Structure 1
């Protein structure tokens, strides 16, 4: 396969992060199996230590740094979950962490990062604008940049979730993966396609401003307007100078699917009522795609439920159906 990240990097990442992250459950879903007419399993990364898969990549990247790079402290831009993961891993290793976020990041995610002892910088109205603050701090303070997705060690760390799916469900036919910057999708797709080219890998994202989906459609990285969405963790650009995830998504992913805000809300409700799982909007998009019939003939399916870090007041509104698609 023609990319710089290899299957061996995923296995090395799994060895490196063992003891730092959980091997999360792969739970059979009776309700979705009945709906789809084929076995459906939920990979519950929402039960990871920091509430999302992001801990895998952040931990692997931090552990892979040399002592000098760690001593300078680390910095990242985040829509919430990468920042929380990086803050958690840095605290555990005694490393300074600085997290830059835009004003669109929900308050519950900002406060969770502060509670872990990281320094928080809120800058601009989009992740692209927050990245300008990252660049300034790297330049002025010499901090070590660990980005949320477009980094070999981050991608390899996220790909360990794919290795676990293969361990627990070797008969898998289709894997549905939330899509934002593509670090999770790229890593999981590498794991799946290395096992069998016949495993179908589908990236699922929101209709409201997914840069990677637009970039794949355009055949090159493009910018899109960052909009408010229930799937807030999937917001942000992929970088016009994207080095890894765009090319891997182009070559390894079979399809990308869009879901609406109403469909994401339905999926959050379904996860709570039928699966007894609290899931954030970004983590619910795979469930949304199945409920909406967006994936035809999936066969034995693994749905990666990527995170649980939803504002609980919003969750209560959604579960009680006091929310509408015009009022995110």
Structure 2
């Protein structure tokens, strides 16, 4: 299990490896939400996404290994490649064919190998496990790992340092590492705070698993929120139970709603974010998320979207996945 002490220790461990990211008020979203809305600009992290926190904490706790590996939809792989380079370790990042080219290029720019395997994150994981088993690599999964969860939990501590009276935090939900860590940290400090998970309708594995009452496999589909794709693992040890126990609400969005969130954040807030990071704004625009009893914090989790695709969405082009 992961505790507040683990998260506090992670905060000290990665202090010099990650940035403290800013928060900013969002007046337009506040009007729509009926109360104050703040944007936690985690997309301004050095690798462009929150994943650097968990990857750095897990990598910093390794002993002597041949290298590090993982399977990723892109952002965790880039974060682990960055952490590995800081620590002088080789890195092989296994990805599926669904991972966008700009994310592959970003991994390779950090002197890591991006190894494309199969049509799903589960297939990519098979190769990462082979590297662990046969070549002595340390496998650091993107979410279901105590050190990764503790690292992501540092974001929850940071949010409450910046917005001490936060009443709710809207968290992009995929495998659950971010939500689990943020919820553990935030509820330890402020037990009444609400944690709202937000994902896409297309291939939301955690949502399907929670509905079934146990981890289930869900076919991956093309989505604007590609960072939220992938399974949670049928043998999930931590994040399924933590999300089940700590999440207060769950919202699923259409592709057009996610596109509207991307567009709004660009036009009204001057923030270029990927689809996964736009889901909080998208839920407010869709009338499905409000600020109740105090400030609502939206985590802008990443900015690693192909610029041409972003420009097309902002222009109002037809949703690419519709």
The root-mean-square deviation of aligned C-alpha atoms, in Å, is: 1.0
Residue among 221, 230, 241 paired with 1:227? 221
The aligned counterpart of 1:318 is 313
Unpaired stretches in structure 2, ≥5 consecutive residues: none
Q: How far apart are residue 225 of structure 1 and its match?
A: 0.8
2:12 aligned partner: 15
Q: Displacement of 1:297 after TM fit?
A: 4.8
- The one of 193, 206, 227 equivalent to 1:212 is 206
Which residue of structure 2 lines up, in the alignment, with residue 56 of structure 1? 53
User: Counterparts of 2:198 and 2:217 in 1: how far apart (Å)?
Assistant: 18
- Tell me the SS of whatever aligns to 1:257: strand
1:250 aligns with 2:244: yes
Query: Does the 8 Å CA contact 2:35/2:290 hold for their aligned counterparts?
Result: no
Paired residue secondary structure (1:202): strand
1:35-72 CA-to-partner distances (Å, cap 9, x unmatched) read: 11200000001100000000000000011112x13xx1
Contact 2:172 2:277 in 1 (8 A): yes
The 8 Å contact of residues 223 and 237 in structure 1, kept in 2 or not, is answered as yes
1:115-136: per-residue Cα shift (whole Å, max 9, x none)? 1100121000010111111122
Aligned-residue offset at 1:205: 0.3
Partner of 2:27: 30
TM-score (norm 2): 0.98
Aligned-partner Cα distance in 2 for 1:150–1:188:
14
Q: Distance in 2 between matches of 1:48 and 1:320?
A: 26
2:299 to 297, 304, 311: 304
Q: How many residues align?
A: 321
Q: Is the counterpart of residue 157 in structure 1 residue 161 in structure 2?
A: no
Secondary structure of residue in 2 paired with 1:130: helix
2:192 pairs with one of 195, 198, 206: 198
Q: Distance between the aligned counterparts of 1:140 and 1:120, measured in 2?
A: 18
TM-score (norm 1): 0.96
Instruction: Give the 3 Å change call, closer, same or farther, for CA 304–297 of structure 1 in structure 2.
Output: closer
| Contact 1:202-1:257 at 8 Å conserved across structures | yes
Q: 1: distance between equivalents of 2:321 and 2:17?
A: 40
